[in-house]
Structure 1
């Protein structure tokens, strides 16, 4: 299983099980140890790689321990402090990380509640852990741009120099992105004033602020929706129409129903309707096999009974079929004899469970000339 697939699988597990965990120890066993094992690649049962309840001998208060120390090349490289899933990640509750960071070889400190992971280093002062993380991984909302940087921390390709050199840029880009996201969600006075003065020539009074605050929020939401539509249109090709997306605060009479949205998306003259779910599933399959072939070679061709995913738009090179027209959704996969077997899926992310079969099908097409 590829790195991204393992990360997605763990994220799904966290989403499904986090409500049932009541203690920090349960969080460690269910989420954090699997993260260290399946994502970072270290053997949690080998004390030469992962040391639980780690204690340093110098300059540390007696009785204090770090939950895990991760060893690479016989040196402690990462320290992990754990909290109960759902608990806020505040540094004032993890003072051990600061103290242990200064008296060990570790250059990476991780504060986590099993769902969100904050990664720290010492960019501001040598051997002193920064107060702000250089990387924030949220398994409930994985930022795909961070995956290559996260992979550098894994045992197989551990590259501390590369991690540290990229940490400065990651730290500030991540902080800026989170600040922008906060402004899109709930703009503060400075942001409202900045944008208002770009379009309004009068004085920025209390009345003007009250008038423009909801306008700025609405404009930001509409801008995001338009960007999503443009990206989807580009990905699907010039022949597909953009998806109408309603603003969250739009009046009810202005919001199209889901059926109307899907109908507007793509309905050919013969009545074939390609739904949003089919398009999302197609994009997932395209992403899974993009290591084998260029994405533009993978296309979809819809029919009334199923939506086919094809290589090179050739119906003799069927990668998969999406049977989404009934209550139970199925993905149809093909064996070496091109015999289709349907597999039930409950959610679109279940398609990732069939990544190996999808890649194997594409590999057969690449290796065999099909007339």
Structure 2
């Protein structure tokens, strides 16, 4: 087992314990004691040693009524990490300003952690020295860690903060790269949903279409570029999956007649392809977008099942091909059966059920976004 594997195991064990005791954390002090200190310890900092971790550290220069940060991690007598704690369940985004003020007041601090015991946001000062960035470069979500393995990129980023590896310059460099990557993903997701005129013109120019009028871009070409974008994202997944299915059928040639009668039709594959394409458009955030690569299918005699990650728990819908141009989609309650000749009619059910499955099972981290399908 590698050091990162051991680190993941430690964090996962703490996550599972935190889930069991979270309901007892009715105030900030109990949240600190039961949920936050174990993570500080897992990062390698001895919170029983006042030369390593100090609580209620003064974060301004007033003599009376000083502002105090909940914990600081010390190095050579100076604070290098500031940790601001909130009660379990508190929205962290609304409290970033407080940590930002402490970060600036403590000139030697190079890393800030904001936490409510289950979510830990890590901040650096990539853009302006000694001014905390406005967004975290990584977030450790312990609730998600109880449902799915901690993403490799999240694990690596958090490991840089451990006592054994913490070097401010290295963390700042890694944080800067992650923030840029995060913003790029956001831009690309926006372009998938609604391609900008700039992207449309660039794409059209690359295929030899030039000097297109603004009105034509909006009325004619935006939809074409969006569809091509979705195709480019999903087709590699579909082709790989079809090849794997074909190989599986060849390998199972000696199985019984019932198995050999299951043949995935072009219409069923078109449904799978549509689901993936539409989810790329309907995804509410980058975590849902990343999760699309774990959407799979299972074919049976008489029905075709589309699911997320786990066949039973992750079931999205059953598809039953019709003979008169109308197909049947069966979604979990409250949607039930949808009989239609237009797949756009399933969008609302598809978006809602997929979001529920990702929330229940967990989504991959951003680094797990390459569009490859696993069998």
TM-score by length of 2: 0.52
Unaligned runs of 5+ in 1: 266-275, 279-346, 350-371
- Matches of residues 175-186 of structure 1 in structure 2 within 5 Å? 175-181=183-189
1:127 paired with 2:130, answer yes
1:69 CA displacement: 0.9
Within a 5 Å distance, the mapping from 1:1-371 to structure 2 comes to 2-12=6-16, 22-38=26-42, 40-56=43-59, 58=61, 62-90=65-93, 93-139=96-142, 140=144, 142-181=150-189, 187=193, 191-197=195-201, 198=203, 208=218, 216=226, 224-226=233-235, 239=247, 245=272, 247-248=274-275, 258=298, 260=300
1:91 and 1:131 in contact (8 A); partners too: no
Aligned residue pair count: 260
Q: Say if 1:108 and 1:121, in contact at 8 Å, map to a contact too.
A: yes
Partners of 1:102 and 1:128 within 8 A in 2: no
State the distance in 2 between where 1:112 and 1:170 align. Answer: 20
CA 1:226/1:2 → structure 2, altered by over 3 Å: closer, same or farther? farther
Q: 2:126–2:173: 8 Å Cα contact kept in structure 1?
A: no
In structure 2, relative to structure 1, the CA distance for the partners of 1:75 and 1:11 (3 Å cut) is same
SS at match of 1:98: helix
1:76 is paired with a residue of what secondary structure? strand
Contact 2:40 2:47 in 1 (8 A): yes
Answer whether contact 1:65 1:96 (CA < 8 A) is retained.
Answer: no
Residues 15-44 of structure 1: CA distance to partner in whole angstroms, max 9, x if unpaired? 666677554444433432222122x12223
Q: CA deviation at 1:80?
A: 0.9
RMSD (CA atoms): 4.9
CA distance in 1, matches of 2:124, 2:113: 9
